[in-house]
Amino acid sequence: MDDMDFPTPDVEIESVTPDELKGRIDAGENITLLDARMESEYEEWKIDDETVESVNVPYFHFLDEDIDDDILAEIPDDREVTVLCAKGGASEFVAGALKERGYDVNHLEDGMNGWARIYEAIEVERYDGAGTLYQYQRPSSGCLGYLVVDGDEAAVIDPLRAFTDRYLEDAAELSSASPASQAQQDAAELDVDLKYAIDTHIHADHISGLRNLAEEGVEGVIPAAAVDRGVTYADGLTLAEDGDEFQVGDATIETVSTPGHTSGMTSYLIDGELLATGDGLFVESVARPDLEEGDEGAEDAAKQLYESLQERVLSLPDETLVGGAHFSDSAAPAEDGTYTAPIGQLEEEMAALTMDEAEFVELILSDMPPRPANYEEIIATNLGQQETGDEEAFELELGPNNCAASQESLAGD
């Protein structure tokens, strides 16, 4: 849509940066958005929140000088409206057409592409292990990652290629917040070594940043069980077996095999406090089992997922925090703003976790959401079987993640 050449508006249009819009939403402001993308794009992926009112009117309705009155009637004229599109070109044009008609409007700079570049690091306050643990959040797609920092060492779990430089920068900047001794911090002088980049599995919704970080000297770690899917670059990485441990300062990251979402799905227990579950278990749902073997293998994978959850995850102490690799619109953040929850709480709230195997398998196979957009190309890229440039990779992963089973049927009564 934004590849078109839109006329420059005759009136000056203020722009709002994605970070500014996110800050206003986080502050609880009432926001009105006019999304000028096509209806199919809007229905698949949009900015959504309790305080956000969103109206979809595609840009082409504004190309004629005489805009239909019925179209204008859909757009609130008693408040500020932020117009957005895919990349920012159409939204500025539409905002200009509305401002000429007396509307109070601005437009979102860089559109949904700009929204997809928001990436926040939030401290997991209930983490009581060595060092400090942060959860990365990408609100556009619900992707989550983790950074543990202790003294002069750090590790990132489930990094995204689009934010490769960010991890290296954050390892140094966020180390000053780590509860290491003053002597340790003085010795480090913020010269923090991002020691490990760890993937939980071969992702289907975003391009992994693990190989890019490995090129920067970071030790890349992938589950040994994932290599059989056809990983082409395993020789240059460390292969994590069940029970393997990785030391980050005084913090220990333990490998916990949890197959089901994929055959190589692996969780990582960070200093006994938080289990980074990848796509195995989320705070509002469990994994979908069909992205590796398709519909034919989904039932067997669902049975494997049930076993992993019951024997490897729910067997941990109730107070152990769970942090997945994604969150959906139905997920509620904890008081610290992270999408984490104790295992005991999830058992109480999620009926699927207390079912027997047959009920569990039937439930998660009964209502599977659409598969992630471009998932086959993303998987091929993450296996190393397809070369994908940075910009193309960014475009491939735009949109919702859809790596979970349907949330509606999984919650408790």
Is 143 part of the annotated catalytic residue set?
Answer: no
- If one looks up domain 15-115 in CATH, what number appears? 3.40.250.10
Q: State pLDDT tens for residues 287-303.
A: 899 988 888 999 999 99
Q: State pLDDT tens for residues 365-388.
A: 997 888 888 899 999 999 999 999
- 2 vs 45, 67, 163, 365, 385, CA distance in Å? 17, 20, 24, 38, 31
pLDDT for 412: 45
| Alpha-carbon torsion, ordered 312, 313, 314, 318, to 10 deg | 130
pLDDT for 186: 41
Q: State pLDDT tens for residues 312-354.
A: 999 999 999 999 999 988 889 999 999 999 999 999 999 999 9
CATH H-level, domain 120-396: superfamily: Ribonuclease Z/Hydroxyacylglutathione hydrolase-like (3.60.15.10)
| List of the chain residues with pLDDT < 50 | 1, 180-190, 409, 411-413
Please report, for the chain, the start and end positions of each structural domain, with discontinuous segments joined by +: 15-115, 120-396
pLDDT for 400: 79
pLDDT for 407: 53
Catalytic residue among 33, 75, 85, 325: 85
- C-alpha closest to that of 33 among 119, 117, 108, 140: 108
Tell me the two tokens of residue 168: 């290296």
pTM flag (> 0.75) = yes
